[in-house]
């Protein structure tokens, strides 16, 4: 039984190691034997110390230091990296690299890979003090992986000599098990604690560690078995060590010690068999063999129930075993399954298992913390999960906001919450709006602390100073970094003004804040003025309401009619006759000025449209004249040719008349002896067939020779699943089928390659490739953008567009991708390798895509995908504005603008825009000749679609559809409008 536990522990320990070479089976066997020897001797020593001195320890040859030394030898045997012989040059090279890494960390302490490289080099150089400091610094900033912790723990356990060193190692183990769920670290922790069993309280320490390990990873279906067996081995070893003492103890003491120890082993067997774990059958058989009494029926029932549960979990566990890391989709399905069952311990375990491999996925952390906040509500678990979430994904503002709420929800001290907020500000968010969001979350927390029944308090002053600091921070820090405020509508100032007005009854401060809001470019928006007016209406007086509306009438430029209507409504219900007269005069003057400005804008727009029409007419006339000139030359040449044929007929030529009209094909080459249109002979107008011109039969043969006898092969839509559509091929491709077949045969068995030709036999640049199996067609999609004779080939699924008109293939995401960068301004000669060399200095580069046109020529743009969002944000700070071959590049987080989808006729009618002339735009948007003849000043959007720059506009009170839609006008009506005196 001891052998099985040690072997399983060794297997579980060897799995996560990623050293340069795996140790041999012989070394593993030696390590396992050493561990078993240490375990049995340490247990024997503890039994001697706890049960009496009659049992002679010296006969066994065991001491406390022996156990520690042998455990250290076993640990070092597994973790020793081996002996390296470094030459002087290589050692000096390592020292220079260490200095470079230290300097780089002094500039950017959040460089994860730099920390890892520095620890590796210091460990190779044997710098004990420095490697400890480097590990300590990294663990304070980042959570360490299981491999990094095991390496650190093995180094420290091999050097632990006395009780103080052992306590230091215990502290390291406690820190290690908090970062991620790590069965192998728990196993190491339990086995290391066995080495200190001879110390005071050592036996209780071992049992405490194993019990905590079972509560943490005991439900792990694939790795929990090693923890159960190691704990059971420990208790069994104590029971075996107590047997020789039967002759030295009274029957009552013997029953109290030995029988109680056997009951502990029985209890562990029963607890383990009630949990669905792999190899349960072997555990049950082992229990039957070990137990002297028959197994109780209740234990058998629990075992059978666990077996049934195991069958339900097996599909999800097998999916994890078959998939490749990070297996996010498989873990998500597993989590959904556990959530339906509703066992909190298992739900927590599967979340923790998923986060080990997906620790940089913010959405997974959010889902986990949300479950803990709403379901478990255990303070230690909730706060631990939130803390680890922000350490793994510090760039995600949603995690910090949830963390602040959780701290407040569980009554954490104000000092701790303030420190957490300061850490959030230094986390390095990648958007200006993120800083506004975190400030709002913190200000909301401070507001909830204030007792507004008191006129003044320490909390209220802290809230006001925090508002002032937030405005200063956004102005100095955020605007300088992002070249934008992140808060164009001044939401923070609006909240501050509402608090001062509604909760503090301080309208003077609220008015000062609104004056500042309006001076920041918001005075032109009607909805901002109406927000201020509503605040004055609720907490101010009529005089300030009137003043605000008078200012709004003068300043508003988007919807002046609206604020004018509000002013008149207020004066109608509350104002005097004098107030009414002033309001009417002011609104009429303002609206007359607005109408005048709109008429001028309409005239300017009409003049531009007329100029554009004149240019279009000029171009049309020029094309018509050019076309007429060509036609006249062609007729002149045809008349000359007809005269020659008449001469031939006069001499008795009875041949059938041949057609003289020939189709011109773009890029076609005229036959020898035939002049091209526009050549010197044609321009003189005296071109005539020479004596060497072939007869009409020979012309017909030559024309037919240029035609290719290409059979029409109709496309079979039933084979779309095994067919791919290949486009953007060179038009001059000689034999498309022969050229493409070897390329696609690498993906699977090709049935047919069908290139598409024109009527004259010219290749049209696209074809269909049909495979025998669907898997081969899917594999062929990977050849998309591969170069064929210097031109990128497009490979897409074969879809019938008539049946799927909305189908569009675009292989790249058009949404915000925080781990991907958009680089512009690159030199056209910049290669992918050169750009990768520049980018990999700031993190792990997963992919680089240079943007090209359809001919494969670079456009000076690129997309760079990093391993995580943190590396991408650091690369933006370092690379934006960098100079590459005299080109200053721009670097930003990839966030392509949304493509404008043309409105359908139904949508145009529903939105009230059916009165506007329909515009048909090309693939690149509206052309210069596609200007609307209706001035923009008259194209008023309906109230349902009108929206101001900083928020939705409020529709005018009592507005009717007739007042919000532009009337239908003909060209004659429009001309009368402009010429009216």
Q: Quote the DSSP letter at residue 981.
A: -
Task: State whether 176 and 250 are in the same domain.
Answer: yes
**CATH number for position 738:** 3.30.70.330
Whether 179 and 285 map to the same domain: the answer is yes
242 and 130 in a single domain? The answer is yes
Q: In what order do the strands lie in the sheet with 858-866?
A: 845-852, 858-866, 817-824, 890-894
Q: Is the pLDDT of residue 553 over 90?
A: yes
Residue by residue, DSSP assigns 675-743 as PPTTSHHHHHT-----TTPPPHHHHHHHHHHHS--PPP----GGGGGGEEEEES--TT-S-HHHHHHHH
Domain end among 560, 591, 614 = 614
Q: Are residues 167 and 282 in the same domain?
A: yes
Cβ atoms 401, 454 nearer than 8 A: no
Whole-model pTM: value is 0.60
pLDDT in the model for residue 803:
66
Residue 792 CA, chain-centre distance (Å), reads 27
pLDDT band at 759 (very low <50, low <70, confident <90, very high): confident
**Whole-number Å distance between alpha carbons of 965 and 706:** 60
| Range(s) of the domain holding residue 350 | 342-428
Partners of residue 769 on adjacent β-strands: 724, 753
What residue has token string 């666990």? 306
Residue 171 lies in a domain: yes
Helices of type H across 202-259: 202-217, 224-242, 251-254
For residue 37, pLDDT beyond 70: no
Q: Give the CA distances from residue 354 to residues 97, 149, 181, 348, in Å, rounded to whole numbers and listed in that order.
A: 35, 19, 10, 10
What is the model's pLDDT at position 127? 85
Res 493 pLDDT > 70: yes
Contact 188, 153 (CB under 8 A): yes
Cα 693 from Cα 673, distance rounded (Å): 7
At how many degrees (to 10) do helices 260-273 and 224-242 cross?
Answer: 160
Same-domain status, 214 and 350: no
Helix axes 379-392, 397-409, angle to 10 degrees: 160
Check which CATH number belongs to the domain holding 107 and give it: 1.25.40.10
- 273 is a domain residue: yes
Q: Give the end of a domain, one of 854, 869, 893.
A: 893
**Token couple for 321:** 């075993």
pLDDT for position 694: 45
Instruction: Give the pLDDT score at 707.
Output: 47
Pairing of strands 817-824, 890-894: antiparallel
pLDDT at 886: 83
Higher per-residue confidence, 99 vs 12: 99
Contact 290, 1 (CB under 8 A): yes
Is the confidence at residue 581, as pLDDT, over 70?
A: yes
Rounded CA gap, 798 and 725, in Å? 5
Total domains present in the chain:
5
Could you report the per-residue pLDDT of 136-148, keeping only the tens digit for each? 999 988 899 999 9
Among 303-317, 898-912, 916-930, the least confident range: 916-930
In this predicted model, what pLDDT tens digit does every residue of 617-664 receive, in sequence order? 999 999 998 888 888 877 776 665 555 555 444 434 443 334 433 334
Paired tokens of 874: 């650091």
Domain boundary among 877, 893, 909: 893
Average confidence (pLDDT) over 38-55: 43
861 in a structural domain: yes
Judged against a pLDDT cut of 90, whether residue 529 lies above it is answered with: yes
Average pLDDT over residues 733-755: 89
Q: For residue 188, give Cα distances in angstroms to 148, 168, 213, 584.
A: 14, 15, 11, 85
What pLDDT, on a 0 to 100 scale, did the predictor assign at position 454? 87
Verify that 293 and 387 share a domain, yes or no: no
CA gap 791, 729 in Å, rounded: 7
667 has pLDDT over 60:
no
Predicted pLDDT of residue 816? 82
Report the pLDDT value the prediction gives residue 834, as an integer from 0 to 100.
87
- Assess if residue 143 is contained within a domain: yes
Query: Do 254 and 147 reside in the same domain of the chain?
Result: yes
Strands 786-788 and 791-797: antiparallel
Residues 868 and 758 in one domain: no
- Quick check: is 804 in a domain? no
Q: Do 188 and 229 have their domain in common?
A: yes
Please provide the average confidence, as pLDDT, over all residues in the chain. Answer: 78
If asked whether residues 751 and 824 sit together in one domain, one would say: no
For residues 965 and 541, the model is more confident at 541
* Lowest-confidence segment of 234-248, 280-294, 841-855 by average pLDDT: 234-248
Residue 923 forms beta bridges with which residues? none
276 shares its domain with 384: no
What is residue 809's predicted lDDT score, i.e. its pLDDT? 61
Is residue 910 situated within a structural domain? no
- Answer for the pair 408, 380: CB distance below 8 angstroms, yes or no: no
Give residue 575's pLDDT.
Answer: 92
Q: Are residues 536 and 545 in contact, defined by beta-carbon separation less than 8 angstroms? A: yes
Q: Distance between CA 461 and CA 455 in Å, rounded?
A: 11
Residue 530, pLDDT above cutoff 50? yes
pLDDT, residue 920, reads: 41
Highest mean pLDDT: which range of 67-81, 294-308, 921-935? 294-308
Q: What share of the chain is helix, strand, coil (3-state, %, to 5)?
A: 60, 5, 30
Whole-number Å distance between alpha carbons of 523 and 517: 8
| pLDDT exceeds 60 at position 458 | yes
- Which token pair is 348? 């927590």
In a domain, 934, yes or no: no
Instruction: Say if residue 278 is in the same domain as residue 138.
Output: yes
- Is 406 inside any structural domain? yes
Asked if residue 383 has pLDDT above 50, the reply is yes
What's the pLDDT at 295? 92
């Amino acid at each position: 039984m001891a052998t099985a536990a040690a072997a399983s522990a060794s297997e579980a320990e060897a799995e996560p190691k990623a050293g340069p070479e795996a140790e041999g089976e012989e070394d593993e066997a030696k390590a396992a034997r050493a561990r078993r020897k240490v375990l049995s001797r340490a247990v024997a020593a503890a039994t001697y110390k706890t049960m009496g001195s009659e049992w002679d320890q010296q006969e066994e040859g065991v001491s406390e230091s022996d156990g520690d030394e042998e455990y250290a030898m076993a640990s070092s045997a597994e973790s020793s990296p081996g002996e390296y012989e470094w030459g002087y040059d290589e050692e000096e090279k390592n020292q220079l690299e260490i200095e470079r890494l230290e300097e780089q960390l002094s500039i950017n302490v959040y460089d994860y890979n730099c920390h890892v490289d520095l620890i590796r080099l210091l460990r190779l150089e044997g710098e004990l003090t420095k490697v400890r400091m480097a590990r300590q610094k990294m663990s304070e900033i980042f959570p360490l992986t299981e491999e990094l912790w095991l390496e650190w723990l093995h180094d420290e356990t091999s050097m632990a000599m006395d009780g103080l060193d052992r306590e230091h190692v215990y502290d390291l183990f406690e820190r290690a098990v908090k970062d991620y769920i790590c069965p192998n670290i728990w196993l190491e922790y339990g086995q290391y604690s066995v080495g200190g069993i001879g110390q005071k309280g050592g036996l209780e320490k071992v049992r405490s560690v194993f019990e905590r390990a079972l509560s943490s990873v005991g439900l792990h279906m694939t790795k929990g078995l090693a923890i159960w067996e190691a704990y059971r081995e420990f208790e069994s070893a104590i029971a075996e060590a107590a047997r020789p003492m039967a002759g030295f103890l009274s029957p009552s003491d013997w029953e109290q010690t030995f029988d109680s120890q056997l009951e502990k082993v029985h209890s562990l067997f029963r607890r383990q068999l009630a949990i669905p774990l792999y190899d349960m059958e072997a555990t049950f058989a082992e229990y039957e063999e070990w137990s002297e009494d028959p197994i109780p029926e209740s234990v058998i029932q629990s075992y059978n129930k666990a077996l049934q549960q195991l069958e339900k979990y097996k599909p999800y566990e097998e999916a994890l075993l078959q998939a490749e890391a990070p297996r996010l989709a498989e873990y998500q399905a597993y989590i959904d399954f556990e959530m339906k069952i509703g066992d909190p311990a298992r739900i927590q375990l599967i979340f923790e298992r998923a986060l080990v491999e997906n620790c940089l996925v913010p959405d997974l952390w959010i889902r986990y913390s949300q479950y803990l906040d709403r379901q478990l509500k255990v303070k230690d678990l909730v706060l631990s999960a939130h803390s680890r979430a922000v350490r793994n994904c510090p760039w995600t503002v949603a995690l910090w906001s949830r963390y602040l709420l959780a701290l407040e929800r569980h009554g954490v001290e104000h000092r701790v919450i303030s420190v957490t907020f300061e850490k959030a500000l230094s986390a390095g968010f990648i958007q200006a709006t993120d800083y506004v969001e975190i400030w709002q979350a913190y200000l909301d927390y401070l507001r909830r602390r204030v007792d507004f029944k008191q006129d003044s308090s320490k909390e209220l002053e802290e809230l006001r100073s925090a508002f002032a600091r937030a405005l200063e921070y956004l102005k100095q820090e955020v605007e300088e970094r992002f070249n934008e405020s992140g808060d164009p509508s001044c939401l923070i100032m609006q909240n501050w003004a509402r608090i001062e007005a509604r909760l503090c009854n301080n309208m003077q401060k609220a008015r000062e804040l609104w004056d500042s809001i309006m001076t920041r470019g918001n005075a032109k928006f009607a909805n901002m003025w109406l927000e201020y007016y509503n605040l004055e209406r609720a907490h101010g007086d009529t005089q300030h309401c009137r003043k605000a509306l008078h200012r709004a009438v003068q300043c508003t430029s988007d919807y002046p009619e609206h604020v004018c209507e509000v002013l008149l409504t207020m004066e109608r219900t509350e104002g005097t006759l004098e107030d009414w007269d002033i309001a009417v005069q002011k609104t009429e003057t303002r609206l007359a000025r607005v109408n005048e400005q709109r008429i001028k804008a309409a005239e300017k727009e009409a003049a531009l449209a007329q100029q554009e029409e004149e240019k279009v007419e000029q171009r049309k006339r020029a094309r018509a004249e050019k076309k007429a000139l060509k036609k006249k030359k062609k007729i002149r040449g045809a008349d000359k040719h007809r005269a020659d044929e008449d001469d031939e007929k006069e001499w008795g030529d009875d041949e059938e008349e041949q057609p003289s009209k020939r189709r011109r094909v773009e890029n076609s080459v005229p036959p020898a002896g035939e002049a091209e249109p526009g050549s010197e002979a044609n321009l003189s107008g005296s071109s005539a067939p020479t004596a060497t011109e072939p007869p009409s039969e020979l012309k017909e043969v030559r024309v037919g020779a240029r035609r290719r006898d290409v059979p029409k092969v109709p496309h079979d839509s039933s084979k779309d699943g095994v067919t791919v559509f290949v486009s953007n091929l060179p038009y001059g491709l000689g034999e498309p089928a022969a050229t493409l077949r070897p390329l696609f045969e690498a993906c699977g068995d090709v049935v047919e390659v069908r290139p598409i030709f024109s009527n004259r036999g010219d290749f049209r640049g696209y074809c269909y490739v049909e495979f025998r199996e669907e898997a081969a067609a899917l594999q062929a999609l990977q050849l998309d953008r591969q170069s064929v004779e210097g031109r990128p080939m497009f490979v897409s699924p074969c879809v019938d567009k008539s049946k799927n008109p909305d189908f569009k293939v675009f292989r790249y995401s058009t949404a915000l991708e925080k781990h991907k960068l958009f680089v512009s301004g690159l030199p056209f000669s910049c290669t992918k390798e050169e750009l990768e060399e520049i980018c990999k200095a700031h993190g792990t580069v997963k992919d680089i895509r240079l943007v090209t046109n359809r001919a494969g020529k670079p456009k000076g743009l690129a997309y760079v995908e990093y391993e995580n969002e943190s590396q991408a944000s650091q690369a933006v700070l370092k690379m934006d504005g960098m100079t590459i071959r005299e080109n200053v590049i721009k670097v930003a987080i990839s966030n392509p603008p949304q493509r404008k989808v043309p409105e359908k006729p139904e949508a145009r009618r529903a939105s009230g825009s059916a009165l506007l002339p329909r515009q048909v735009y090309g693939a690149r948007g509206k052309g210069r000749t596609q200007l609307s003849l209706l001035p923009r000043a008259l194209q008023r959007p309906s109230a349902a679609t009108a929206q101001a720059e900083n928020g939705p506009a409020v529709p005018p009170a009592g507005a009717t559809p007739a007042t919000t839609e532009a009337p239908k006008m003909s060209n004659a009506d429009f001309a009368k409008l402009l010429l009216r005196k």
